[in-house]
Amino acid sequence: MRTPRSVTPSRRGILAAGGAVGIGALLAACGGGKGSGGGNGGAEGGPWSFTDDRRQKVSLPHTPQRIVAFTGTAAALHDFGAADRIVGVFGPTKLKDGKPDPQAGDLDVDKVTVLGNAYNQFNVEKYAGLSPDLLVTNMYEPGALWFVPDDSKDKIAKLAPSVALTSSRVPLDRIVARYGQLAAALGADLKAKKVTDARARFEKAAEALRKAAKAHPVKVLACSGSADLFYASNPGINADLMYFKSLGVDLIVPDHLDKGGYFESLSWENADKYQADVLLLDNRTATLQPEDLAAKPAWNKLPAVKAGQITPWSSEPRYSYAGAAPLLESLTKAIEGARKVN
C-alpha cells in the first residue's frame, strides 16, 4: 500500500497510468544473473554500465561519482556500502522536528542536499546544480519513477540518466538482492563484514518468522487508516507482504481490490469486513496511528484492537538486509505474542 506520503483514495495506482504494461519484462529483469540487469563497474576511470528493471541500459564513461536518489533508495545503498557517491536525495528525509525520517535509515541526512521532503517538491534547479551523473529511485509501477513529479520529469530526465529498480510484484528478498547488485556495480564490497552480518541477521529472522507462523497460526491483516477510509492491503502485490506470506504468515487477501491492486478501500462502517487476529498497521508519518484512530468507534470495535494485537508496518521498506531484518523480527514478535480472537 503506497501513497506519495499522503493517504487519499487515489493511492499509488493513479501515479502510474498503464501500470500493467511491461510487468513480464520487469519480473524477468529481477531474476538475477548476468542477463538480468547486472552492472559493469570496471575501474574508477573505465566505462560503467547497468541495466535496470525497465530493461534500460545506462552506459557512462566512468563509474557514477555524483548520485541523486530517492531517500529510501539512498538508505538502502548506504547499507550496502555505496553511500559515498550520494550527493542529493528527494522524498521523505527529515521529520518536522529535524530528525531523519525513518525511510532515511542510517543515511546521514545532513551530508546530502535535500531536493524536496515530500511529493512534488523536487527542486529541479538544485538538482541541476549538483551536476548529477545518475538518478536512482524505486519503481512501484513499471516506468513510473517514484517521487519524480510528472510535471517536471522531462526536465529531470535531460540532466542525467536514471536507474529504476522495482519495488512491487516481486518478493522482498529478491528486491534486496537486486539493490545489492546495483551497490556492487557502484563499487560496494558485498563481502564486507557489515553487509554479511546484516544478511546473516536477515536470514535468521526469516527462519524465525517461518517457525512463528507455523506455531502460531493467527490471521494477519496489513492495513492503513485515514480520516475517511480504512485500507486492507494485498499480500499478492506488496513486496514485503509477498515475502511474509511465502514464509507462512496467514495474511488476509482482500477480495475486492481497488484499481492498481494494492489494497481495498473500505468505509469505516465496513472496517470489520475482514476478521483479523493481528493488525499490521502502516506506520508512515502521513497515516493515522493507534492514538489517532482511538477516536473512531469502528476502530475500537475491531477484535484485534480490543486485544491490543496491533504491530507497526513499515509499508515502504528499506531494500537492504539491514533495513529488512528488523521488519521480520518485529512481525515474529507480534505473532508469537498473539492469540486468536476470531
DSSP conformation letters of 31-68: S-SGGGT-EE--STTS-EEEE-TTSPEEEESS--SSEE
| Type and span of the H or E element at 22 | none
Distance, in Å, from the CA atom of 160 to the CA atom of 138, rounded to the nearest integer, reads 16
Distance of CA 58 to CAs 10, 24, 70, 154, 188, Å? 32, 21, 18, 17, 18
Angle between helices 172-185 and 239-246 (to 10 degrees): 120
Q: CB under 8 Å to 329, separation ≥6 — which residues?
A: 205, 208
| pLDDT attached to residue 229 | 96
Distance, in Å, from the CA atom of 229 to the CA atom of 260, rounded to the nearest integer, reads 17
Residue in this structure with the C-alpha cell 502521513, named with its chain if needed? 286
| Type and span of the H or E element at 111 | none
Distance, in Å, from the CA atom of 274 to the CA atom of 222, rounded to the nearest integer, reads 11
Beta strand pairing call for 113-114 and 310-313: unpaired
| pLDDT attached to residue 2 | 52
| pLDDT attached to residue 342 | 84
The 8-class DSSP code of residue 110 comes to G
Taking the chain (342 residues) in consecutive chunks of 10 residues, what is each chunk's mean pLDDT? 40 32 36 46 74 97 97 98 96 93 94 95 98 97 94 97 96 98 97 98 98 98 96 96 98 95 96 97 89 96 97 94 98 97 90
Neighbours of 177 (CB within 10 A): 17
| pLDDT attached to residue 285 | 76
Asked if residues 51 and 41 have their Cβ atoms less than 8 Å apart, the reply is: no
3-state secondary structure of 231: strand
| pLDDT attached to residue 20 | 30
Q: CB under 8 Å to 145, separation ≥6 — which residues?
A: 135, 137, 139, 153, 162, 164
Ordered by where they begin, the domains of the chain are: 12-190 (3.40.50.1980), 197-336 (3.40.50.1980)
| pLDDT attached to residue 31 | 39
| pLDDT attached to residue 40 | 63
Single-letter amino acid, residue 184: A
